[in-house]
């Protein structure tokens, strides 16, 4: 039977998201401030299904605000799951964990912190880079700091370097030169620390640019005194070093693979699939990282075509047609992933309503249908409204848990 819980209403931190950014929501902050916009505090939570589990899910959905423990929050990733939401759900479900839309790796960090075999996939190269760094062993902290010091020293030399053509107009010339020298200095380091250094480098690329944020391509020209880009890089490397040192010793390694969730599964059978797929029509995850691709020499290739529920797909097609595609994609990835669940294994999907041309797109029932079609029994689900005052609308966010019968 459905029941309602009340919690104190708080101001909605992200209420002014929507002011015509090119890509997705505008979070109105410079992403490299190491801030992650957490969900807003839930007002009411509708609970259905098994009482104990729906209590867990309701608590998970209510977590709000920024959480920067361990490596969480080091490099922003849009629409990240709240770390405590992931932690609560993992604690309630024993066994191996997989996230087929792992993004910046929140679920993976919580999976290894809970000492579980943990794996994840994504089609975004930046997601894989960030997730790998956030799950790196604490033993990397010292080599990272030493390498970052050398890279910063190297980049102080007045050498003229090449800057990718695509990024030139987004930076003051001296800032682009400092970034170019950092990039070149990283290449001189031991490959074992490359991906950590590249993540640190990636984490400063928006803050030092004229771009407003990861999710908004609006330009706001800023002025950075010479040398401060190098200082920022070094400071961020020390921050990451400290964050890695906060991770316990001897954690399991997370397995990370590039892969389309409709096809690619965990390397072996798992007990919990915990994920947050793209909400329909809200973000363009791959194009929003173009500055980073250019600096890091990454090519998302066919990822652009494989992205599910993108904002651009909803703009390009008639709404009904785009919805059908999103539903077919949802049915497909849920079926693929359900195939790797052990008997009594569970799938928990955190998904929110989409927003297309100012109209809300329901995600609850299509997701339930996809889970049932994949042979899962819905054992608990919770929903809460997230008011969007700027658009004078309300979107609902859900956690739906299905179980494979033993």
Ligand X SMILES: C[S@@+](CC[C@H](N)C(=O)[O-])C[C@H]1O[C@@H](n2cnc3c(N)ncnc32)[C@H](O)[C@@H]1O
By beta-carbon proximity to ligand X, the closer residue of 90 and 175 is 90
What's the distance, Cα to Cα, between the start and end of the chain in Å?
A: 25
Closest approach of Cβ 106 to ligand X, in Å?
3
Contacts of 271 (CB under 8 A, 6+ apart): 93, 94, 95, 96, 97, 341, 342, 344, 345, 346
By beta-carbon proximity to ligand X, the closer residue of 79 and 155 is 79
Among 74, 233, 285, 293, contact with ligand X (rule: CB under 6 A): 285
- What is the four-CA torsion angle of 26, 29, 33, 38, rounded to 10 degrees? -60
What H or E segment, with its residue span, contains residue 209? none
261 binds ligand X (CB under 6 A): yes
By beta-carbon proximity to ligand X, the closer residue of 163 and 273 is 273
81 binds ligand X (CB under 6 A): yes
Contacts of 85 (CB under 8 A, 6+ apart): 60, 61, 63, 350, 399
Closest approach of Cβ 351 to ligand X, in Å?
9
Among 56, 58, 112, 127, contact with ligand X (rule: CB under 6 A): 127
Output the 3-class SS for 259-294: CCCCCCCCCCCEEEEEECCCCCCCCCCCHHHHHHHH
Closest approach of Cβ 260 to ligand X, in Å?
4
Residues touching ligand X, count (CB under 6 A): 23
Interface map 86-115 toward ligand X (x if CB under 6 A): ---------------x-xx-xx--------
Interface map 51-80 toward ligand X (x if CB under 6 A): --------------------------x-xx
CB 350 within 8 A of CB 38: no
124 binds ligand X (CB under 6 A): yes
CB 108 within 8 A of CB 102: yes
By beta-carbon proximity to ligand X, the closer residue of 124 and 163 is 124
By beta-carbon proximity to ligand X, the closer residue of 130 and 230 is 130
Among 21, 39, 117, 278, contact with ligand X (rule: CB under 6 A): 278
By beta-carbon proximity to ligand X, the closer residue of 185 and 352 is 352
By beta-carbon proximity to ligand X, the closer residue of 43 and 307 is 307
Q: Which of 39, 38, 55, 35 is nearest to 47 (CA)?
A: 55
Beta strands at 118-122 and 211-213: parallel, antiparallel or unpaired: unpaired
Contacts of 279 (CB under 8 A, 6+ apart): 79, 309, 351, 352, 353, 354, 355, 363
Binding positions for ligand X, rule: CB under 6 A:
77, 79-81, 101, 103-104, 106-107, 121-124, 127, 260-262, 276, 278, 285, 306-308
């Amino acid at each position: 039977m459905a029941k309602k819980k009340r919690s104190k209403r708080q101001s909605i931190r992200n209420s002014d998201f929507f002011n015509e950014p090119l890509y997705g929501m505008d979070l109105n902050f410079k992403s490299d401030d190491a801030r992650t916009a957490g969900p807003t505090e839930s007002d009411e939570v509708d609970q259905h299904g098994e009482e104990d589990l729906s209590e867990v899910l309701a608590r998970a959905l209510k977590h709000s605000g920024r959480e920067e423990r361990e490596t969480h929050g080091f490099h922003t990733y849009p629409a990240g799951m709240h770390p405590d939401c992931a932690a609560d759900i993992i604690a309630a479900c024993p066994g191996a964990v997989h996230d087929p839309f792992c993004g910046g790796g929140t679920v993976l960090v919580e999976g290894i912190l809970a000492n579980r075999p943990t794996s994840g996939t994504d089609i975004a190269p930046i997601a894989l880079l960030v997730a790998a760094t956030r799950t790196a062993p604490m033993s990397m902290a010292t080599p990272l700091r030493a390498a970052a010091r050398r890279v910063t020293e190297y980049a102080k030399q007045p050498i003229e370097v090449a800057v990718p053509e695509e990024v030139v107009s987004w930076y003051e010339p001296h800032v682009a030169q400092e970034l170019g020298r950092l990039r070149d200095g990283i290449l001189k380091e031991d490959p074992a620390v490359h991906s950590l250094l590249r993540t640190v480098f990636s984490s400063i690329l928006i803050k030092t640019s004229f771009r407003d944020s990861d999710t908004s391509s609006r330009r706001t020209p800023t002025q950075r005194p010479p040398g401060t880009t190098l200082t920022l890089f070094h400071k961020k490397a020390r921050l990451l070093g400290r964050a890695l040192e906060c991770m316990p010793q001897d954690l399991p390694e997370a397995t990370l693979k590039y892969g389309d969730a409709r096809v690619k599964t965990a390397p072996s059978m798992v007990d919990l699939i915990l994920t947050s797929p793209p909400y329909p029509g809200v973000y363009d995850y791959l194009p929003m990282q173009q500055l980073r691709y250019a600096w890091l020499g990454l090519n998302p290739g066919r990822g652009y075509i494989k992205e599910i529920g993108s904002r651009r797909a909803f703009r390009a097609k008639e709404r009904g047609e785009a919805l059908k595609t999103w539903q077919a994609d949802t049915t497909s990835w849920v079926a693929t992933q359900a195939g790797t669940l052990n008997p009594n294994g569970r799938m928990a999907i955190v998904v929110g309503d989409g927003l297309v041309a100012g109209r809300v797109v329901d995600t609850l029932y299509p997701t339930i249908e996809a889970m049932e079609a994949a042979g899962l029994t819905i054992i608990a689900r919770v929903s809460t409204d997230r008011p969007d005052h700027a658009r004078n609308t309300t979107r609902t966010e859900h956690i739906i848990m299905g179980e494979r019968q033993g």
